[in-house]
Chain A
């Protein structure tokens, strides 16, 4: 990856990046940009597709993850990829999700330039929209000092905040975002895209590499600690207690970038039983609570998607009962992904483990 620096104007990193992206539009290097843009009230922000350079008002550092941009790219390209060049800015977990969605045939990357941005973390929607700090959420995030106390658990324990498989990288780690940022180009094609944007060549990328290594190490040990602390949800009693406040709304599944099915099994007629069956269930166990199958839903969801779980925490953020879903999901994801030697988002050429097999493997299961 060829590395440059982008000098920051007036200490305003989001604006400087926006100007850089605007240049891509003005120079017709791309026809549109999909990136985080604050709503007029500033209470929220969403990935917004902009083709008019005048209307481009992105803030790629917005500490908010209202939806996964990976999901949005899937929405946009699922029927057919775009036929004009589109640049999409994504954070690390969004890129991982998009990579998984491509493998699942749910997104088409043709004519798309993936711009990955180092993620410093995001705040819960409610915290963001009525932010208590003196500074704005973005200023707080970029200054760093107090940011952690607002941060979502998924971000505190993020498995890797640096973007993988991006064509262009906007790098914060190792840089001082008040003065300059790193910009990386994957191939000569991207180097050409970045010509004329006022970037400076970086002769020695050791500083950046070291910073990235350090942040990854720090995150790894944090996540490890988190898993150790949270591995106490064991057995039927603990599990049902954990989900006691689940109202079976399926928001977690709807927010999940990996749960792509148009109609989830659990929202289909499969589970519409005849009245007699419901009464039979009561006969069998003596009693059962309605709505039925909360835990079956969760366990089955894990079975269906956990190998691709990118640990974005959107499920947890969507839960109306504030169930700390990451406490159960991260340990499950860690163990399951380890079993299959699979890391979601690592490599677009890898296949989803459930569609491939080797003859000589897992010989302790089945004889």
Chain B
């Protein structure tokens, strides 16, 4: 048997909440798996579907879109719009049989370092069950 499958996760985290939450997890030395690569965005509402799809097609096993709690978005409604966009994205992935469950959306505030760490842990567990993204091996897409 080859070594255990370690999921690779790309996280698009909003500057004002989830990114700060991730930062807090780090500075508070809360332990969480090193499987996530974080990309800071100004708002979850700035995450176009192209970023998520690109990550998935390049072989990321999971994508986390993280924003402020509903009602707390620094730009008022960015996370509500992000939610609609991700609903659409998942709906399309579902129709195409492309594992929408690889895409996670979480509202995590700047003070929720533990919640961020727990989210990553939970994602890693679930993605291990799901197995590697088949796109990782595809050269012809």
Contact = CB atoms under 8 A, between A and B. Distances in A.
Interface of A: 231, 233-240, 243-244, 265, 281, 284-289, 293-296, 299-300, 302-304, 306-307, 328, 331-332, 335-336, 339-340, 353-355, 357, 359, 361-362, 365-367
A236 B95 contact: no
Interface centre among A243, A294, A366, by most chain B C-beta atoms within 10 angstroms, is A366
Contact of B95 (A332, A359, A361): A332
Given A303-B49, A332-B92, A366-B105, A357 B135 contact: no
B83 A366 contact: yes
B84 A362 contact: yes
23 contacts: A233-B96, A234-B96, A236-B134, A265-B50, A285-B137, A287-B139, A289-B141, A293-B54, A296-B53, A296-B141, A303-B85, A306-B92, A331-B95, A335-B95, A336-B92, A336-B95, A339-B87, A340-B88, A353-B88, A355-B81, A357-B81, A365-B90, A367-B107
A-B interface, 7 closest residue pairs, ranked by CB to CB distance from nearest = A234-B97, A303-B49, A287-B139, A357-B80, A366-B105, A295-B141, A235-B97
A337 to B, nearest CB: 10
Contacts of A265: 50
Interface of B: 49-50, 53-54, 57-59, 67, 70-71, 77, 79-92, 94-98, 105-107, 134-141
Given A285-B59, A286-B139, A336-B88, A300 B83 contact: no
B92 A295 contact: no
Nearest to B82: A366
A362 B97 contact: no
Contacts of B96: 233-235, 239, 299, 328, 332
Contacts of B79: 366
Contact of A284 (B58, B84, B86, B107): B58
Interface SS of chain A: helix
Contact of B91 (A239, A284, A336): A336
B10 to A, nearest CB: 13
Contacts of B70: 359, 366
Contacts of A234: 96-97
A300 B58 contact: no
A299 B53 contact: yes
A235 B59 contact: no
A303 B95 CA distance: 12
A366 B139 contact: no
A354 B98 contact: no
Contacts of A359: 70-71, 80
B94 A295 contact: no
A239 to B, nearest CB: 6
Interface centre among A287, A303, A331, A362, by most chain B C-beta atoms within 10 angstroms, is A303
